Amino acid sequence: MSRICQITGKRTTVGNNVSHSKKRTRRKFYPNLFDKKFYLPEEDRWISLRVSAAGLRNINKKGLKKALDEAKRKGYITSY
């Protein structure tokens, strides 16, 4: 499973480790992802999503159905 949030589309980014001598080596920054189950009352079923911490706040703010519809419209998720 790839490290991509299914709600916000956050993914791994790349950058540099910078040592004390300022020598730079490449590194990866991973998103803060969780495998969570959510209850979707409109369809009376549970769904599993891989969401970031920002995605969880997004779901709490907008509601699960609206967040899923927005993620589907943006192409982060194909079906739920």
**Domain boundary assignment for the chain:** 13-74
* Per-chain mean pLDDT for the chain: 96
Residue 41 CA to residue 28 CA, distance in Å, equals 38
pTM: 0.87
Res. 32: pLDDT tops 90: yes
Pairing of strands 45-52, 24-29: unpaired
pLDDT digits (tens, 9 = 90+) for 56-75: 999 999 999 999 999 999 99
Token pair of 35, please? 């495998």
**For residues 7 and 55, is the Cβ–Cβ distance under 8 A?**
yes
Q: Can you tell me whether residue 73 is helix, strand or coil?
A: helix
Architecture of domain 13-74: Roll (2.30)
Angle at 64 between CA 61 and CA 66, to 5 degrees: 80
